[in-house]
Structure 1
Amino acid sequence: MKEYNSTTDILILGGGIAGCIAAISLVKDYNVTLLDKQLEPVDRIGESLAPAAQRILKELNLLENESDAVKQSIFRNNLGMQSYWGSNQLQIVDHMRNPDGFSKNLNRKNFEHYLRTVATERGVNCIWGTRLFTSSYEDNYWKIITKSDNVKNRITHTIYTKFVIDATGKQSHFAKSLGIKRLQYDNLISCWMSLPNTQENTMSTIISDELGWWYSSVTPNNQRIVAFQTDTDLVNRNTFKHLDTFLPFAKEYKLIQPLIESNKANIKFHGTTSANSTRLEQVAGKQWIALGDAALSFDPLSSQGMFNAMANAMQVQKLLRNFNFIEDLDSEKLEQFNAVYNHQINQVWNHYIQHKNFFYTTETRWKDAPFWKRRQNNI
């Protein structure tokens, strides 16, 4: 067994989009350590990255100067969204006139891998394949102990840090270790698969249905994602356990069936993932904050999850620079920082809830069906 000890200004737990963007934005001003339990990023459902995210990418000099091959492996521009929502009539929202350009359909795994590489290249101390074991507060420092999963050759890291950023997603491992609860507002799940795209039309698509709604988009390498969002209790669980049961379910929908026709041999089934709206009861404390999905997680209908994670990280960078309490650990500045950060998080949540409620209430064709009835009442 190997043991390592280190000291850092800022420790970021979680090497996803939120954690990496925070690390890349902070490393110019602080000694930053970034860790994640995964040795490599895992497959995640591809989302559309909002056009406004382009401003953050430019500010951090990300992607813009990369080769076409690198860009094409990470994203493809998306002209817009087509939807059958609220009626049987097709509606189209394009990004042709958006000053920030097109939205980007991501290969999420490749994007996270790219961000990890950039973080390392820019001087972030990155530790992969280790997870939070214990945390304690001693003499103005957090003492964080992490352990790798390999029992035979286990590596233990003891890290002393002035500030902890919990970017571990909905699991919010650090906040959970402090006894902070997570509030869950619905039971939405997403069952998804990926396959080669065979359609000329590559716009993203949303289709509402009595039981929930479908989402499809084309990602890099001409791969298509097809996903169905519903509540955990509305569809037989076996339907979402295997491709052989999910495929017949998908083919019942005439607008989805052409996307998967004659393509069964090339379909990769990814199963289900939680897609519900949740928030942490407390998002900031004594020299720590929760960031991105660890603080707030959004229904994918909002298409704001990844952008919020990036924007949230940039807000933290600016707040830390403005209050500058890390070097001398000024308690008054820390309290002011926490108050402003809490206010920002609450504003984001309130705007999200208004946005979410508005879009769900515009679909009235199945207002008495459980899925939609549950969403007619504001949170």
Structure 2
Amino acid sequence: MTQYDVAVLGAGPAGAIAAALLARAGHSVVFVDPDPRQGDRIGETLPAFAADLLERHALPGPLSSDAHLPIRGVVSDWGGMRTQDDALMRPGGPDWRLDRGLFDASLRAAATDAGASSVIAKVNAVTRKPDGWCIATDAGVCLRARRVVDATGRRGILSRSLGGARRQQSRQVAIWAVGDPVGTKIAATSRTLIQDGVDGWWYGAILPSRRPVAAFHTTTGQATQMRRDPAEWHRSLAKAAVLAEHLPTALLSGAELKFTDATGEACTKAAGDGWVACGDAAIAFDPLASQGLLNAVRTGIAAADVAAGRVTPAQYCAEMDRVWDHYVRHHASLMARRALA
């Protein structure tokens, strides 16, 4: 039976980055995921700093393909204040609108090119053994590894199984849809659109595929109502002035609504003896922060350092706590500004 140095659970950006860096450093790595090729995904904004991190670590990023597009700026109406910023004025340059399917696939390819093995399977259980870990899959196979990286998203398969709790903000659901392709160029195509409202807030953009995407972030109660009556989502979208002004909302009229947990949360312990969590398994942000992919990149790189013994679990946990505390303070200030409007 093959014993790997590291098993990475999950093949999203954080897991693929950790697998690629560890394999490049000479570790034997296997990454496990039941369905690495997913369809439409909400979360395609890559901050400029994350793009710089990828480039510095010779990992594929927005400059690797013309399919990824720079974001010109943001048009927002938050707390009754309409603002518009221009990315050309930012010292770090523009953020990026990614083709998520291509981006994720390129990171997985970087991991396999570096020598990591890929197993398409569902993880049923992870148990500690005297010489490491056993990762039991639905294929009836036990993958053996000395260390484990938990990149299983909000499920946090390993961290939860070890008794780790989750710190959570108020529950929030993203209700989103992707529309038909845009036929003509639209002035706001390269901008991000943000609009707050009574029961939540809206995000809108044009994807690199030239399809409009709109997402409403709201309470579980309002989400339940919109699940029962999808027309309510469309009525609310029509009232979001910024999106209605800049987005071809008619192209979303026949789109299927999708529901995704968007609660800000973090595990209370992100690493321990022989394991480390990264990406959403460590910290999952409210999408308003637009930090999901930056978090995936940063924690994927950091998780590789922990698994390789360059950073201690205690140091990593302390850093995750600092990131979470900073996020909570920033989020509270945004919500307070909205409440005062």
- The answer to whether TM tops 0.5 is yes
CA distance in structure 2 between the partners assigned to 1:351 and 1:28 by the alignment: 32
Change (3 A) 1:261 1:114: same
Match of 2:79 among 86, 89, 102: 86
Report deviation, 1:291: 0.9
Q: 1:119 matched to which residue of 2?
A: 111
Residue 33, structure 1, aligned to residue 27, structure 2: no
Residue 76, structure 1, aligned to residue 101, structure 2: no
Match of 1:174 among 138, 158, 161: 158
Q: 1:56 matched to which residue of 2?
A: 53
Residues 241 and 271 in structure 1, CA contact (< 8 A), matched pair in contact too: no
Residue 156, structure 1, aligned to residue 128, structure 2: no
Q: Scaled by the length of structure 1, what TM-score is found?
A: 0.81
Report deviation, 1:39: 4.7
Report deviation, 1:263: 2.4
Q: Scaled by the length of structure 2, what TM-score is found?
A: 0.90
Change (3 A) 1:65 1:51: closer
CA distance in structure 1 between the partners assigned to 2:159 and 2:61 by the alignment: 35
CA distance in structure 2 between the partners assigned to 1:65 and 1:194 by the alignment: 21
Report deviation, 1:38: 1.1
The 5 A counterparts of 1:160-309 are 160-195=144-179, 196-197=181-182, 199-202=186-189, 203-233=191-221, 235=222, 237-240=224-227, 243-258=230-245, 259-264=247-252, 267-309=254-296
Report deviation, 1:345: 0.8
Letter matched to residue 103 of structure 2: F
Name the % identity: 27
RMSD: 2.3
CA distance in structure 2 between the partners assigned to 1:218 and 1:264 by the alignment: 12
Q: 1:377 matched to which residue of 2?
A: none
Change (3 A) 1:249 1:170: same
Residues 214 and 227 in structure 1, CA contact (< 8 A), matched pair in contact too: yes
CA distance in structure 1 between the partners assigned to 2:252 and 2:149 by the alignment: 42
1:137 partner SS: strand
2:256 partner SS: strand
Structure number with greater Rg is 1
Residues 242 and 269 in structure 1, CA contact (< 8 A), matched pair in contact too: no
Unaligned runs of 5+ residues in structure 1 are 148-154, 325-335, 367-379
Match of 2:136 among 145, 165, 170: 145
Residues 243 and 269 in structure 1, CA contact (< 8 A), matched pair in contact too: no
Residues 13 and 165 in structure 1, CA contact (< 8 A), matched pair in contact too: yes
Residues 21 and 111 in structure 2, CA contact (< 8 A), matched pair in contact too: no
Aligned length: 335
1:187 partner SS: coil
CA distance in structure 1 between the partners assigned to 2:106 and 2:229 by the alignment: 31
CA distance in structure 2 between the partners assigned to 1:261 and 1:44 by the alignment: 19
Residues 13 and 300 in structure 2, CA contact (< 8 A), matched pair in contact too: no
Residues 18 and 291 in structure 1, CA contact (< 8 A), matched pair in contact too: yes
Unaligned runs of 5+ residues in structure 2 are none
Change (3 A) 1:16 1:278: same
